[in-house]
Amino acid sequence: MIKPSSLQPEAAAFRETVPAGEYFLKVVKAGQSVRILDLEGNQAADTLFYNASNPSERYSAVDTIREQGNVYLTAGSRLLSSEGNLMLEITADTCGRHDTLGGACAAESNTTRYALEKKCMHSCRDSWLVAVTEHEELGMSKRDITHNINFFMNVPVTAEGGLTFADGISDAGKYVELKAAMDVLVMISNCPQLNNPCNAYNPTPIEVLVWE
Amino acid sequence: MLQTATPLYDDLIPGGSHWSLIIRRGHVLRLIDETGGASLGMLLYNPENTLERYNMPDTLKNQHTFHLTRGHVLFSDMGRVFASITRDDLGWHDTVSGTSNADLVARRWGEKTYQQAHNHYHRNGLTSFLNELAKFGLGKKDLTANLNWFSKVQTDDDGNMRFVPEHSSAGAVVDLRFEMDTLVVMHTCPHPLDTATEYPRRPVRYQLFTAASVSDADPCKISSPEATRAFANNALYHLMQ
Ligand SMILES: [Zn+2]
């Protein structure tokens, strides 16, 4: 569902550009809104959310899609935790659909999806592992890297049980905006994937904005 | 697919229960829906390094599928195959709906404590998984999207999910041939989308067999280039063992 936001970028309390291949890590407080902006189009923002005060509670793709009865995420979707609590709600979306089944790229999944010799290419799960090792104070590790949301990715499911990777429906300037219902740690890998035609083999930067 | 017709082991998990075991490479786990309408929740880990675990997204996207059936393989997050589905009487198994929790079971079928009902109390999938995981030093942080054998969840063109009731009948069989040593965590608590009015309490029989050796022309091994490459990763993993 296309639903623009009334929040103005100039009024944001925080703005940061995240180049492709980098991670983004920040606590968004309950009541704050966070926008992920696709600056140049067809980029994938692979995102994990954690309860900021107890990261063993985290975003759960399967609980979220089951409880909303739909496999796609868009404006109105309520993102649930592994303990069934509301973490964030998608309040605005100019893209229309986001994927949470396809997971993130990894050195190991690149070997199976593309070619065995792709294993040393940079990947989203590498970016997250760097994020958790550079922030030891969080007490997180590979155990915390679970299923994520791929903002701006389009992965259609068919009634016959197929799964396809369609061209992106995002474009330069499209965004998704979420309002936090609890203090959440937001961990994004701005995807460095060079093997996927979805982004025309050209990963590009995103911007993250936060409003009070 | 089986080297022997007589199971090495034969056991029944009652409905609404949980169990776990390590299955060694080269063995087949046969799951049998004893009474019809069963659902078996499952998680998989490498017992040598439990940080390696079943990965639903990699399993789906590597095989361009939303459902699992014969010919598919179950991927770990390390680009390897835990198990191949070598027989399936049903054609569709779910891995996207997660598992039930205490709230969901209480909402759907009411709360029933052990004090009230003894072994007929209402267990839920999440507590069951955590109970078995704790035996291996694992916990909440190790939960991932699980498998739901014998259950079918379909979507329409707009992505709306629908649980298909009566999908599995008595005697339905799924065979999983293990391609590496695997910690298998299971429960028979109700599927979280089950529409039954009474708490569904359906037992699942499981049997272990010795697997026939896996040739280069094995249907699961050549089912997709992605699976073939994952078997190559398995071969490298076993090279030094
Ligand atoms: Zn990626």
Please check the confidence at residue B1 and state whether its pLDDT lies above 70.
no
pTM for the whole structure: 0.97
- Rounded mean pLDDT, B79-91: 98
Look at residue A196 in the predicted model and tell me its pLDDT: 84
Put simply, the answer to whether A57 touches B140 (Cβ < 8 Å) is yes
B112, B199 Cβ separation under 8 angstroms: yes
Query: How far is Cα A174 from Cα A151, in angstroms, rounded to an integer?
Result: 11
Beta strands in A130-197 (DSSP E): 149-151, 174-180, 184-190
- Closest CB to B155: pick one of A84, A107, A159: A159
Parse chain A into domains and list their residue ranges.
Answer: 13-211
Please check the confidence at residue B140 and state whether its pLDDT lies above 80.
yes
Q: How confident is the model at residue A197 (pLDDT cuts 50, 70, 90)?
A: confident
Q: Give the A:B interface size as CB pairs under 8 Å.
A: 131
What distance lies between CA B147 and its chain's CA centroid?
A: 4
Q: What percent of chain B has pLDDT over 70?
A: 98
- Rounded mean pLDDT, B165-194: 97
- Rounded mean pLDDT, A96-117: 95
Pick the range with the lowest mean pLDDT from B15-19, B54-58, B237-241.
B237-241
| Tokens linked to B119 | 């072994």
Using the Cβ of B51 and the Cβ atoms of chain A, whether some distance falls under 8 Å is answered with: yes
The DSSP symbol for A197 reads G
At B235, phi and psi to the nearest 5? Answer: -60, -40
Ligand 1: centre distance to CA A106 (Å): 7
Question: Could you give the count of Cα atoms lying within 13 Å of A10 in the half-sphere of its Cβ?
Answer: 0
Q: Residue A106's closest CA among A88, A124, A92, A89? A: A124
Using the Cβ of B49 and the Cβ atoms of chain A, whether some distance falls under 8 Å is answered with: no
Q: How confident is the model at residue A199 (pLDDT cuts 50, 70, 90)?
A: confident
Query: How far is Cα A91 from Cα A22, in angstroms, rounded to an integer?
Result: 26
Look at residue B240 in the predicted model and tell me its pLDDT: 77
Q: Which residues surround ligand 1, an ion (CB under 5 A)?
A: A 105, 124, 191, 193
- Rounded mean pLDDT, A174-189: 98
- Rounded mean pLDDT, A196-201: 83
Q: What percent of chain A has pLDDT over 70?
A: 100
Per residue in A78-89, pLDDT tens?
999 999 999 999
Ligand 1: centre distance to CA A81 (Å): 22
Could you tell me which residues come within 8 angstroms of residue B12 by beta carbon, excluding any fewer than 6 positions away?
Answer: B34, B203, B204, B205, B206
Per residue in A108-159, pLDDT tens?
999 999 999 999 999 999 999 999 999 999 999 999 999 999 999 999 999 9
Per residue in B108-121, pLDDT tens?
999 999 999 999 99
Query: How far is Cα B9 from Cα A211, in angstroms, rounded to an integer?
Result: 60
Residues of A in contact with B74 (CB under 8 A): none
Could you tell me which residues come within 8 angstroms of residue A72 by beta carbon, excluding any fewer than 6 positions away?
Answer: A97, A98, A99, B158, B159
Please check the confidence at residue A166 and state whether its pLDDT lies above 90.
no
Q: What percent of chain A has pLDDT over 90?
A: 92
Query: How far is Cα B141 from Cα A50, in angstroms, rounded to an integer?
Result: 11
Please check the confidence at residue B199 and state whether its pLDDT lies above 80.
yes
- Closest CB to A69: pick one of B77, B104, B160: B160
Q: Write down the mean pLDDT value for chain A.
A: 95
Give exposure, B119-141, as e/b (b: 16+ Cβ within 10 Å). eeebbbbbbbbbebbeeeebebb
- Closest CB to A162: pick one of B64, B96, B230: B64
Please check the confidence at residue B2 and state whether its pLDDT lies above 80.
no
- Closest CB to A143: pick one of B60, B65, B142: B142
Q: Write down the mean pLDDT value for chain B.
A: 96
Q: Residue B150's closest CA among B166, B130, B161? A: B166
Per residue in B119-131, pLDDT tens?
999 999 999 999 9
Look at residue A164 in the predicted model and tell me its pLDDT: 87
Please check the confidence at residue B241 and state whether its pLDDT lies above 90.
no
Q: What percent of chain B has pLDDT over 90?
A: 97
Using the Cβ of B154 and the Cβ atoms of chain A, whether some distance falls under 8 Å is answered with: yes
B73, B124 Cβ separation under 8 angstroms: no
Please check the confidence at residue B3 and state whether its pLDDT lies above 80.
no
B157-163 CB contacts, 8 Å cutoff, 24+ apart: B157/A159, B158/A70, B158/A72, B159/A70, B159/A71, B159/A72, B159/A157, B160/A69, B160/A70, B161/A65, B161/A66, B161/A69, B161/A70, B161/A71, B161/B96, B161/B97, B161/B193, B163/B97, B163/B191, B163/B193, B163/B194, B163/B195
